[in-house]
Amino acid sequence: MQLLRKILFPVSLVYALVVYLRNYFYDKGIFSSKRFETPTICIGNLSAGGTGKTPMVELLVGLLKDNFKVAVLSRGYRRKSKGFVLADDDATVETLGDEPFQIFSKFPDINLAVDADRRNGIEILEKRIQPDVILLDDAYQHRKVTCEFSILLTSFGNLYVDDWYLPTGNLRDSKKEARRAEVIVVTKCPSDLSVDARNTIMTKLKPEPRQKVLFSYLDYDDTIKAVDDSISLEELKTKEVTLVTGIANPQPLLDYLKSKGLRFEHLKFKDHHDFSDSELAVLREKQCILTTEKDFVRLKDKVDNLYFIPVKHRFFDDGESLLRGRLLEFMK
C-alpha cells in the first residue's frame, strides 16, 4: 500500500494544484461564500481519517446546550436518504448516517439535521428551527459557507504539518488553511504527553497569535454498555471477546484495551462499513462482541451480545475551560 502511494505521487501534485486553485478562487471572491445570520461553528480537519470529530461535536453540544438552542448540521455520510433530513423519533442510521445518529441518540433534545448542501441545510434550519448556534460537522473544506468560528482537529500521530496530499499522503486541503481556525486541537495524544513534547508540537504548528492550541487524549470508559445493560471492562476478562471496529484508526482503542490486560480477537473493517449478511452471520456466532459507539448504532438491532465502549476527549491542563471561554466569547 505504501509503495502504491509513492507511485501515485504525480497524482498528488495534480490534487495539490486543484486544492490551491480552489482556495485561491474563494480567497479572491471568484467563488462565492455565504455568511448566515445564525452563528456557525465549524468542526473539521485537513486530513482524511479519524481525528475524533464526532466526540468533539458531542463535547461542544454538552458545553452549549444548557445556555443556547443548538442545532447540528452534518453531511450524513453514507446514509440512504437524500436531501435535507431533520432527525425525529423515526430517525435511523439509514436516514441520518452512523455518526449523526449517534449524536442524536445521545442528545435527543437538540436539533440535528443532515444535508450534503450545507447552504440549503442552514437556510432550512434558520426557517424551521431558528437556533442560536449551528455546529457544522466535518465542514472545514466546505467553503461555500463562511464560518465565524472554526475548530481544526489534527491527530497526534499524523499532524497536518507532517502530511502530504492525497493519495500519497492523507491531506485533503492545504496546510495553509489552518490559518482560518480560531482553535487548533491536537487529538489522540498519549495521556502522559509531557509539557516539553507539547511545546515541540507548538513549534511545528506555528500558530498565529490569535489562535489557541489545545491538546487532548481519548478517555475510554471502564464501563461498557449494551442497549439495556452495562458491565465493567474487567468482567470481559472471563469472556471470549471479539473486538469489531469500522473506524478510520482503531489503534488508540487497541492500545487502551491491551493496557487493561484484555485479550481479544480483532475484526477490522473500513470506516463506515456496511456489514453484509455473511459478516453478520459470523458475528452472531461470537460469544461477546465489543465495538465502538459508531459501530454499535449500526449493529445493535442485528447482533446479540453486543457492547460498546464510550469515549470522549479529555484536555490537558485547563483546555476545556479555555475552549468554553472562547465559545462563550464568540456567542456574545
Consult the annotation and say whether 47 binds a ligand: yes
Q: Hey, CA dihedral for 177, 272, 252, 110, is it positive or negative?
A: positive
- Cα–Cα dist 86/81, whole Å: 11
Q: Which residue has the cell 459470523?
A: 282
Consult the annotation and say whether 48 binds a ligand: yes
- Cα–Cα dist 87/70, whole Å: 13
C-alpha to C-alpha distances, 199 to 51, 185, 186, nearest whole angstrom:
20, 14, 12
- Cα–Cα dist 51/185, whole Å: 10
- Cα–Cα dist 258/263, whole Å: 7
Provide the greatest CA pair distance for the chain: 62
Where does residue 320 rank: exposed (0-12), middle (13-18), buried (19+ CB within 10 A)?
A: middle
Q: What HEC string does 266-291 produce?
A: EEECCCCCCCCHHHHHHHHCCCEEEE
CA dihedral 58, 147, 30, 165 (to 10 degrees): -40
How many other C-beta atoms are found inside a 10 Å radius of the C-beta of residue 84?
18
Consult the annotation and say whether 54 binds a ligand: yes
Angle at 185 between CA 57 and CA 58, to 5 degrees: 15
Consult the annotation and say whether 181 binds a ligand: no
Which residues define the annotated binding site for ATP?
Answer: 47-54
Which residues define the annotated binding site?
Answer: 47-54
